[in-house]
Amino acid sequence: MDRRSGATPVYSIAVAAELAGLAPATLRLYEEKGLVTPSRTDGGTRRYSDDDIATIQEVARLQEDGVNLAGVGHVLRLQHENDALRRRIDETE
C-alpha cells in the first residue's frame, strides 16, 4: 500500500476544520492572513493536507498562548527558516 505525503491535499475545509477543532471561518481567516495556503481544485475548492492541518493547529496553539496573528506569522517564518538551516547542517555533516 502506498503512503501519501503529508503535503498531499485531500481534506475539504469542513473536514480540515473538524480535524483542527476550529470553525471553517477561522481557516479562511488564517488563509487571508497568509498563515496557511491550501491547494485549490480546478473549480476553486480548498483542499488541505496533513501538513496544512499541523500548521493550523500550531497557529491555534500560538494564539492560545497569547500571540496575535501578525506574531504568529513571524513565528512560523522563523520556524521554517530554522528547519531549513537544520536540514542544511545535516546535509553537510
pLDDT of residue 1: 54
Q: With a threshold of 0.85, does the pTM exceed it?
A: yes
Q: What share of the chain is helix, strand, coil (3-state, %, to 5)?
A: 60, 5, 35
CA distance 56 to 60: 6
Give yes or no for a contact between 23 and 16, defined as CB atoms under 8 angstroms apart: no
Is the pLDDT at 57 greater than 90, yes or no?
A: yes
pLDDT of residue 5: 84
Mean pLDDT along residues 44-71 = 97
Percentage of the chain surpassing pLDDT 70?
A: 98
pLDDT of residue 3: 76
Mean pLDDT along residues 53-59 = 97
Domains in the chain: ranges and CATH: 13-92 (1.10.1660.10)
